[in-house]
């Protein structure tokens, strides 16, 4: 079970409160950012395009991924997420960057 | 008519203003989508309870919301505005080629007779259509891939397709306008397009009467006379009597002919409204006075409408999609300002009063007459 914390605007959009909990089918492989986001968007289709750009599939410029007090935003989408995220001990934080007005 | 519903898009959400037919006492509902930019909210002429909203923001991109109950509840629908096929390149500000890149939806135009069919105008400029209530969007690619596309360039607000007019008589005719490419017309439901900018003169481009490159700010049409178009250009107020085949200037005695919105009276096809703005680098009303100008002769001769509008220390702008007319009698005129005021006139523009004064910057105003 994976835990994800969405920013307030996306919680409103997905009509959830608190953390989102996802059961991932990672097969024999590692849990990656891509697998996690695919599962998140599958369960909440209204989030498609809000975290990753529709056309490029890349993280949107003003979205950040944090976990275990580390910034994972620029990690490869196919790199394994930290073990505490994969086990559910720690959540992945999806954060709107400090920008805007 | 039982009343009117004014749909307001702002920098920080959408608001819905409602009143009975007298249009004196208003209820303000919102913000919907608080914190998001709402470039446009528009209702279906075929079903007034079907609304579409273009919600966007720098953090989380573009969403389209749909309401089937007049704006009480909303459902996010499709937001896949991928360019179809070869993306191509247009001119960037510095004159270099730059690939098309989707940024946001500026304008939503529902079909006149099918609530599930709606058109969307994008930045970077492209036209999309949905026939399933906004769930899936198909690009009408012939516009973006027009041979002149590589010469299109963004205006200061971006390379946006901001105006979509569906001709009520010639059913396959669509007009669009793009800053800063100009106006275009399709006579085959979007299958092919041609620029309709003959007669426009823009001193800001190297060839002032070029086929494309003009910063058209807004087009307006009266549904009973679809071959007559009115245009507020970057500078100049223009008119065409032949479906955009040619244009002539009708700025006449306006104090300045820079501006953004233009609208036509619901029952008088020769009565036109504009809001002159001081200049291209001073985007506020001249002399600190908020004045709507009305022509009752189809242009050239204009009268200021000031009753109820601030006549000192006012320095707001009225953006291109932020003026609308209702179909009641007498005709109601509505506009929103960058200062967050929404004004209404229930008497053809003769007198005005604010509906609400302190909203975020108003990006768009539409009005529906409710049955």
DSSP string, B273-318: EEEEES-SS--S-GGG---EEEESSSSS--EEE-TTS--SS-----
Quickly list H helices, chain B.
Answer: 141-144
Are residues B267 and B252 in contact, defined by beta-carbon separation less than 8 angstroms?
no
Tokens of B237: 């107020």
Phi, psi of A46 (to 5 degrees): -70, -10
Sign of CA dihedral B201, B206, B211, B214: negative
pTM over 0.95: yes
Pair type for strands A70-71 and A63-67: antiparallel
Q: What is the pLDDT along chain B (371 residues), one digit of tens a residue?
A: 589 999 999 999 999 999 999 999 999 999 999 999 999 999 999 999 999 999 999 999 999 999 999 999 999 999 999 999 999 999 998 889 999 999 999 999 999 999 999 999 999 999 999 999 999 999 999 999 999 999 999 988 899 999 999 999 999 999 999 999 999 999 999 999 999 999 999 988 888 989 999 999 999 999 999 999 999 999 999 999 999 999 999 999 999 999 999 999 999 999 999 999 999 999 999 999 999 999 999 999 999 999 999 999 999 999 999 999 999 999 999 999 999 999 999 999 999 999 999 999 999 999 999 98
Taking CA atoms, what residue in B is nearest to A46? B76
Contact B60 A10 (CB under 8 A): yes
B221: part of which helix (H) or strand (E)? Answer: strand B216-221
Phi, psi of B219 (to 5 degrees): -115, 150
Q: What is the pLDDT of residue B1?
A: 57
Instruction: Spell out the CATH class of A2-96.
Output: alpha beta
Q: Which residues pair with B194 in a beta bridge?
A: B185
CA-based end-to-end distance of chain B: 5
Helix (H, G, I), strand (E, B) or coil at B46: coil
**Could you give the CA distance from residue B273 to residue B230 in angstroms, rounded to a whole number?**
10
**Angle formed at CA B95 by CA B94 and CA B98, multiple of 5 degrees:** 95
**Could you give the CA distance from residue B265 to residue B292 in angstroms, rounded to a whole number?**
13
**Could you give the CA distance from residue B123 to residue B133 in angstroms, rounded to a whole number?**
21
Contacts of B51 (CB under 8 A, 6+ apart): B7, B41, B42, B43, B44, B66, B67, B70, B71
Strands (E) across B45-125 are located at 51-57, 61-67, 75-76, 89-91, 97-99, 104-110, 118-123
Contact A99 B58 (CB under 8 A): yes
Q: What is the pLDDT of residue B123?
A: 98
Strands (E) across A6-98 are located at 20-22, 63-67, 70-71, 92-96
Contact B82 A55 (CB under 8 A): yes
- Most A CBs within 10 Å: which of B10, B12, B59, B85, as the mutation test of the A interface? B59
Q: Which residues pair with B21 in a beta bridge?
A: none
pLDDT at A101 over 80: no
Q: What is the pLDDT of residue A55?
A: 86
Residue extents of the structural domains in chain A? 2-96
Q: Which residues of A touch B (CB under 8 A)?
A: 7, 9-10, 13, 46, 48-51, 53-55, 60-63, 96-97, 99-100
| CA B100 to mean position of chain CA atoms | 22
Partner-chain residue, chosen from B61, B80, B83, that has the shortest CB–CB distance to A50 = B61
Angstrom CA distances, A3 to A21, A91, A94, B230, stand at: 5, 5, 11, 55
Contact B62 A49 (CB under 8 A): yes
Angstrom CA distances, B224 to B229, B248, B265, B266, stand at: 11, 21, 11, 9
Partner-chain residue, chosen from A10, A49, A96, that has the shortest CB–CB distance to B80 = A49
CB pairs under 8 A between A and B: 50
**Could you give the CA distance from residue A15 to residue B347 in angstroms, rounded to a whole number?**
43
CA-based end-to-end distance of chain A: 35
**Residue B86: how many other CB atoms lie within 10 Å:** 11
- Selection from B160, B153, B43, B181 nearest residue B106 by Cα: B160
Phi, psi of A37 (to 5 degrees): -70, -35
Structure-token match 């089918």, residue found = A25
Chain A nearest C-alpha distance from B59 (Å): 5
Contact A99 B59 (CB under 8 A): yes
A56: buried, middle or exposed (CB in 10 Å: 19+, 13-18, 0-12)?
Answer: exposed
Pair type for strands A92-96 and A2-5: parallel
| Sheet strands side by side (includes B303-305) | B258-264, B272-277, B292-295, B303-305
Q: A8-58: per-residue pLDDT in tens?
A: 999 999 999 999 999 987 666 789 999 999 999 999 999 999 999 998 899
Quickly list H helices, chain A.
Answer: 8-14, 33-43, 83-87
Q: What is the pLDDT of residue B151?
A: 95
- Most B CBs within 10 Å: which of A11, A47, A50, A65, as the mutation test of the B interface? A50
Sort out which chain B residues have CB atoms less than 8 A from A100's CB and list them. Answer: 57-59
């Amino acid at each position: 079970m994976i835990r994800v914390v969405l920013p307030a605007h996306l919680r409103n959009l997905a009509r959830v409160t608190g953390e989102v909990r996802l059961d991932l089918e990672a097969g024999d492989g590692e849990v990656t950012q891509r697998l996690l986001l695919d599962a998140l968007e599958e369960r909440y289709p209204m989030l498609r395009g809000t975290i990753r750009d529709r056309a490029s599939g890349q993280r949107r410029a003003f979205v950040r991924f944090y976990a275990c007090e580390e910034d994972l935003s620029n990690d490869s989408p196919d790199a394994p997420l930290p073990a505490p995220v994969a086990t559910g001990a720690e959540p992945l934080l999806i954060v709107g960057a400090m920008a805007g007005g | 008519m039982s009343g009117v519903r004014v749909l307001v898009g702002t920098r920080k959400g959408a608001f819905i203003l409602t009143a009975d037919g007298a249009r004196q006492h208003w209820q303000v509902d919102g913000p919907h989508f608080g914190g998001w930019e709402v470039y446009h909210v528009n209702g279906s002429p075929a079903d007034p309870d079907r609304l579409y909203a273009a919600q966007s923001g720098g953090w989380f991109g573009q969403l389209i919301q749909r309401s089937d109950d007049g704006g009480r509840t909303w459902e996010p629908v499709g937001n896949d505005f991928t360019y179809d096929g070869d993306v191509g390149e247009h001119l960037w500000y510095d004159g270099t080629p730059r690939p098309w890149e989707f940024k946001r939806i500026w304008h939503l135009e529902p079909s006149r007779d099918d609530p599930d069919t709606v058109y969307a105008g994008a930045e970077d400029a492209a036209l999309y259509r949905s026939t399933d209530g906004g769930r899936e969007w198909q690009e009408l690619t012939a516009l973006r891939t027009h041979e002149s596309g590589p010469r299109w360039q963004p205006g200061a607000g971006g390379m946006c397709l901001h105006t979509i007019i569906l001709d009520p008589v010639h059913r396959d005719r669509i007009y669009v306008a793009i800053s800063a490419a100009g106006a275009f017309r399709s006579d085959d439901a979007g299958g092919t397009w041609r620029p309709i900018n003959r007669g426009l003169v823009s001193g800001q481009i190297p060839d002032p009467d070029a086929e494309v490159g003009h910063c058209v700010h807004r087009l307006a049409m009266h549904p009973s006379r679809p071959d007559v178009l009115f245009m507020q250009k970057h500078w100049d107020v223009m008119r065409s009597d032949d479906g955009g085949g040619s244009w002539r200037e009708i700025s006449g005695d306006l104090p300045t002919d820079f501006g953004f919105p233009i609208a036509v009276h619901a029952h008088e096809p020769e009565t036109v409204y504009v809001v002159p703005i001081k200049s291209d680098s001073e985007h506020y009303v001249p002399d600190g006075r908020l004045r709507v100008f009305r022509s009752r002769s189809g242009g050239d001769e204009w009268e200021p409408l000031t009753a109820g509008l601030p006549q000192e220390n006012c320095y707001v702008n009225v953006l291109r999609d932020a003026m609308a007319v209702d179909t009641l009698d007498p005709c109601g005129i509505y506009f929103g300002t960058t200062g967050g005021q929404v004004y209404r006139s229930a008497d053809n523009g003769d007198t005005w009063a604010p509906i609400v004064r302190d909203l975020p910057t108003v990006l768009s105003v539409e009005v529906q007459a409710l049955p």
